Structure 1
Amino acid sequence: MKKWVGTILAVVIGLVMVMVDVRPVRAASDTNDPYIENQIHLSQIQAIKAWDVVRSNTNITIAVLDTGADYNHPDLKGNLLPGINLVNPSRSAQDDNGHGTEVIGVLAAEGNNKIGVSGVLWKAKILPIKVLDKNAVADLDLVAKGIHAALDRGAKIILMSVSSMSYSQALTNAVNRAEASGAILVAASGNEGDRVAYPAAYPTVIAVGGVRANNQPITESNSGPELNLMATGLNVYTTKLGGRYGTFSGTSAAAPQVAGAAALVLARHPNLKPIDVRQLLYQTAQDLGVPGWDKSTGYGLLNVHKAVTTPMSMDFLEPNNQRSRAKAFPIESQIRGNLGPNDTVDWFKMDIPYDGKVTFHATVSVGSASPMVATFYSDNRTPVTHYIGNGDTLTVPAKQGQMMIRLMRNGGVSGFTYVLTSRYSINPDRYEPNDSMATARPLVGNQISVVGNFHEEGDQDWFSYYVREYGMMNVTVTPDTKRMDIVLNIGKQDGREMRWDPSYDNGDRDDPTERAEKEVSPGKYFIRVSEYEQNAVNAEYTLDLYYTPVKKDPNEPNDTYQQASPLAGGNLMTGTFPTATDTDWFQFTVNRESYVSIRAPFVPVKSGMRLALFSGNNFNYPLAMTNSVAERADQGREVLGIRLQPGKYYIRLNSSVSFKYDLYRLTVNQQELIAGYRDISTHWARTEIARLSSKGVVKGFDDATFKPDQPVTRAQFATMLIQAMKASRMPVGSYSGNTSFLDLPKSHWAYNNLGLAYQLGIVKGYPNNQMKPDQAISRAEMAAMVARAHNVPLYSRSISSYRDVSTEHWASPAIEALTSREWLRGYGSLFKPTGNATRAEVIVVIAKSYKL
């Protein structure tokens, strides 16, 4: 997958002119641009306040590398120079996408002209250079050509709201030329939510991230050691194609604000060098997050007013003359400082992401051979000391973690200024050398994970894997940054030939992982991992290999009922369906009436698996069947539950979706039925439940359960009482239907029984004409209803049989009456009157009170 530049475009290049507009201007509140109130970002970065000092710079050319510009926009055309179209050189730089117009509007929409909005710059000379096509996409080399074109036209600020995760030597050369030519480069950090993208990632490019109105970074804004500044990146109001206006978000919107600030700084101080402007912007930024520089917000939020009013410091990182006050020195950046008789030491700290090495290039303002001594302290390593002079380059080993750096003035040297530019390189991974088939590293095991990298240009990592039997091989390669564009190749050695699969190169910005899943046969396979552009990348990838041999079905052959495998109760049976035509049969025997529960604890597929249950006497019609075996297994539900009489039974399984690399699991459990129930065999009320069930007083549930410990509802209890009265040959009459309740429709299953119980005075209603048929009854209510059903004489007692039922309790008379008759019992000295009455407790009370 070729890496292209995506839109976050903006480039500003400025050319110093003779005239500098630093005259006092009218207050920002007097600006007559009608949409200025929508431009909240101008206040956030203190640009409006800066306009009281300087508002324009027409003395330099600012190049914007983007999709071009809308030359007909009334708020832009006064600030636009004839542009350059590198996408189609025969055409103008007219914007055919809109991104460039939005960027230029943030940078330099004409201010105080009674039209639309204002840029950070009111008046400017903007050179649009079209490097992005109508889809806002370009090759990196075209961006590099754009920088060269801008420099050829004398630009001194180059704004690039473009990004790419790939390194380019051509772009590197262009960036280096810009620095040598005295041009300031500003670029958006990128919107991938990853490491800072190119060209922003170069140390001499100001990398700009985006923040919200509350100064928190926007989610998509790239971060890392290359990040320098933040500016507003959400809902920035700006110019749009066709003379329109609207909001614009992303780091593309943030970068032009910094470019505009750089232009205003040059308007005040036209002789500043690029490093001076960069350092001044960093020096005056509003600190965000942890004190000082950090990888999430760089040096902080752009403050235009401070940038144009604050004297430049040659060493703004002071005080840092003690180890405890060391300042951050990011691994891909540039710092400047002073050392002299009164300030002999500067301390820095550098976070190292992986074992590697850091290269420093030094510029020192004195001509002494070695005016500065640098000592590097890495964890668990002996400190390394170097003597540094102007133009020196040194490389220092660096262990993952934090490296402390002490810079000292060499004795006898007067004061001087130094600039250090750092470059980091990762060490070769532990599997090197493995750059060819001959040096491929063997991988052993069914589950393997290795970590590798591309430590140098053209690096390839080769691995071998020997397969002993047919199976499935899954390979994933996941980079830890989107800067790495993985290409995965897998091939099999066939004698003296290699048979390669097509390259696995399907990763994208959102998901850079490469994945391969293939059936394999015995033999030797080679795996090659490479970077698409063959770049060295300071990052790591993780290669995970999973090999699954074809599972052998231990029960084959069992494709017919005559070959059915015996399935003992509770035992786990397994199998596969290597083809959609395969069928597995199992058999089991039921010795006593039982409830049979068939479950599938695991099924490798999501759907398509079918089960049918047959009696040994009839294979033409199943007793039960389901096509949802996989779905029920996934939900942890019973696949099939059924009451079965003694006999032999058969299960037929098949699947429309084949699988052979994992086994399904199947269990059959039998629960002997007592009185038709499977959950009362050891219950204390088993006898009463069985007896009253046989008399038709109570019924269980469809799944062959009685649920003896489940609470009883008013409807259920009324039904049990009416059925008990009928079983005792007591006259109950019939429900007249004269009384109606709002919550007891005729369609309710217990309508007649509840109505009859109410008519007989056994149950009572609630206020607002409600019966609450499905409400659970308490033990106190159970006692009261049984007493009413039997017309038991009730009277208050002077002494209670239970500690938790006072003689004043509303149900005390009924509880005491039934207790004295031994129809019910408590829990020792407690009755628990407010506790729910269970189905078992109710059955026992009914059995005793009706002598059933």
Structure 2
Amino acid sequence: MPTPPQFFSPTPVSPNVSVYHLHTADIVRLLRASRCHRHGWTGRGIRIAMTDTGFARHPFFNANGFNIQRVSTPSISNPEIDTSGHGTGESANALSIAPDCEFFGVKHDDYSVEALETAIAQNPQIITNSWGWDIDSKSMQQLKLDNVNLYNEIKDIEQTISDAIDDGICVIFAGGNGQLAFPGSMPSVVSVGGTSVAQDGGLKASSYASSFVSSLYPNRAVPDFCGIVGEFGFSSPLEGHIMLPVPNGSKLEGENMPSSESKKGWGIFSGTSAAAPQVAGIVALMLSVNPHLTPDEIKAILSATAVDVTTGTTAHRETADNGNDLATGSGLVDAYSACLQVQQTLATC
């Protein structure tokens, strides 16, 4: 008789590993979302949709009581299957910051417009996306000449996103991990870059995150501001990334972890893929204060209240400096300052 294998169940609590990393609780604290929670700003009644690789069930989500709905698109019927682990893990960033939000995980495959339209159909106030194309190195006209099929697809996506924003949905995109990323370069989206946090608490521009001036949209600088992202490197383990829950057997299980802890349903990773849902969670907190904020108002408040990042160099070799810069935009988002400004603005209306 064959010997039955052991199936490793994910643990609700992350394993203890020696490499310097952050937990979702650290992200909540560092972005000052915990102060928002004490005011009762937790995202209750706010709907966040996220398009990604899938959204597996994991004990971490159950232990925290998160409200998650996993949504199929017309061409995908298994949103709970996530062989990558990317969607499952990165969703924990948004959910930890806005623990009482209504979260809709839309599984995304090759059909981006379909995924976005499915997300829009959930009637969210926020859509967060950690994907794109590394194509913003040429003008829209040149792209059309070089690849008309890709150009047509890009224009369809552009229109879908623009329509969502016109309808009052805050659409967030990762700015990229060294890519010249579209749709993160669209002027109307919230484009999120990366700031890393050292062990002593110091902030610097992440060497993993993109920073560039768009060719598709002249004068558009990416990013607008940043979430928390680890550092890039050619040796393992990489430092400053986030311990996130993933399905057993997924590609990201055990990422940046010693082999003795690699089969417990966790991985250590981040990128602007983590930063975008972090910002989505903060937007949900802001909408807890005033649900009538427009996408433009949200972006302006997040920019005005961000913490300036003055050191560090990005993946595109842009160096952070005093004030708004190409490396980090306005700086690292600050949930509490943003919510206080929303509250103050509401009081003067």
TM-score by length of 1: 0.29
Which residue identity lines up with residue 144 of structure 1 in the other structure?
A: V
2: CA distance, partners of 1:311 / 1:180: 21
User: What does the per-residue CA deviation read over 1:78-118, in whole Å, with 9 as the maximum and x for residues that have no partner?
Assistant: 421131245x434344322200001111111xxxxxxxxxx
- How far residue 63 of structure 1 moved from its aligned partner, in angstroms, is 0.7
Aligned mate of 1:240, from 233, 238, 246: 246
2: CA distance, partners of 1:236 / 1:82: 23
- How far residue 212 of structure 1 moved from its aligned partner, in angstroms, is 1.3
Which residue identity lines up with residue 89 of structure 1 in the other structure?
A: I
Aligned to 2:147: none
For the pair 1:282 / 2:313, whether they are aligned, the reply is no
Instruction: Map 1:58-207 to 2 at 5 A.
Output: 58-75=44-61, 78-85=66-73, 88-108=75-95, 119-132=96-109, 138=110, 142-166=111-135, 168-192=154-178, 194-195=179-180, 197-207=181-191
Query: Is the 1:207–1:227 contact (alpha carbons within 8 Å) kept by the matching residues of 2?
Result: yes
Aligned to 1:218: 206
Query: Is the 1:191–1:221 contact (alpha carbons within 8 Å) kept by the matching residues of 2?
Result: yes
Gaps of 5+ in 1: 1-32, 109-118, 133-137, 315-852
Which residue identity lines up with residue 206 of structure 2 in the other structure?
A: I
- How far residue 146 of structure 1 moved from its aligned partner, in angstroms, is 1.6
2: CA distance, partners of 1:205 / 1:313: 25
- How far residue 277 of structure 1 moved from its aligned partner, in angstroms, is 1.2
Instruction: Map 1:521-532 to 2 at 5 A.
Output: none
Which residue identity lines up with residue 83 of structure 1 in the other structure?
A: V
**Aligned CA distance change for structure 1 residues 297 and 181 (closer, same or farther; 3 Å):** same
What SS class does the counterpart of residue 273 from structure 2 fall into? Answer: helix
Instruction: Map 1:136-535 to 2 at 5 A.
Output: 138=110, 142-166=111-135, 168-192=154-178, 194-195=179-180, 197-213=181-197, 214-224=202-212, 225-234=221-230, 235-242=241-248, 244-289=265-310, 290-311=321-342
What SS class does the counterpart of residue 64 from structure 1 fall into? Answer: strand
Whose strand fraction is larger, Structure 1's or Structure 2's? 1
Query: Is the 2:58–2:245 contact (alpha carbons within 8 Å) kept by the matching residues of 1?
Result: no
**Aligned CA distance change for structure 1 residues 55 and 144 (closer, same or farther; 3 Å):** same
- How far residue 169 of structure 1 moved from its aligned partner, in angstroms, is 0.6
1: CA distance, partners of 2:290 / 2:79: 34
1: CA distance, partners of 2:266 / 2:79: 23
Aligned mate of 1:42, from 19, 28, 50: 28
- How far residue 229 of structure 1 moved from its aligned partner, in angstroms, is 1.0
Which residue identity lines up with residue 43 of structure 2 in the other structure?
A: N
User: What does the per-residue CA deviation read over 1:250-303, in whole Å, with 9 as the maximum and x for residues that have no partner?
Assistant: 111111110100000001111111111111111111122334321111011010
- How far residue 239 of structure 1 moved from its aligned partner, in angstroms, is 1.6
Which residue identity lines up with residue 203 of structure 1 in the other structure?
A: P
For the pair 1:54 / 2:40, whether they are aligned, the reply is yes
TM-score by length of 2: 0.69
**Aligned CA distance change for structure 1 residues 313 and 147 (closer, same or farther; 3 Å):** farther
Query: Is the 1:70–1:94 contact (alpha carbons within 8 Å) kept by the matching residues of 2?
Result: yes
Whose helix fraction is larger, Structure 1's or Structure 2's? 2
Which residue identity lines up with residue 307 of structure 1 in the other structure?
A: A
2: CA distance, partners of 1:174 / 1:288: 33
Report which structure shows greater RCO (CA 8 Å, sep ≥6).
2
- How far residue 245 of structure 1 moved from its aligned partner, in angstroms, is 3.1
Corresponding pairs, count: 261
Query: Is the 2:89–2:246 contact (alpha carbons within 8 Å) kept by the matching residues of 1?
Result: yes
RMSD: 2.4
2: CA distance, partners of 1:311 / 1:100: 30
- Greater CA radius of gyration, 1 or 2? 1
**Aligned CA distance change for structure 1 residues 308 and 170 (closer, same or farther; 3 Å):** same
2: CA distance, partners of 1:54 / 1:228: 27
Which residue identity lines up with residue 222 of structure 2 in the other structure?
A: E
User: What does the per-residue CA deviation read over 1:548-597, in whole Å, with 9 as the maximum and x for residues that have no partner?
Assistant: xxxxxxxxxxxxxxxxxxxxxxxxxxxxxxxxxxxxxxxxxxxxxxxxxx
What SS class does the counterpart of residue 203 from structure 2 fall into? Answer: coil
What SS class does the counterpart of residue 68 from structure 1 fall into? Answer: coil
2: CA distance, partners of 1:89 / 1:311: 38
Query: Is the 1:55–1:123 contact (alpha carbons within 8 Å) kept by the matching residues of 2?
Result: no
Which residue identity lines up with residue 188 of structure 2 in the other structure?
A: T
1: CA distance, partners of 2:81 / 2:14: 24
Gaps of 5+ in 2: 1-11, 16-21, 136-150, 213-220, 231-240, 249-263, 311-320
2: CA distance, partners of 1:67 / 1:89: 11
What SS class does the counterpart of residue 325 from structure 2 fall into? Answer: coil
- How far residue 74 of structure 1 moved from its aligned partner, in angstroms, is 4.5
2: CA distance, partners of 1:74 / 1:288: 32
2: CA distance, partners of 1:208 / 1:245: 24
Query: Is the 1:106–1:239 contact (alpha carbons within 8 Å) kept by the matching residues of 2?
Result: no
Which residue identity lines up with residue 130 of structure 2 in the other structure?
A: S
Aligned to 1:721: none
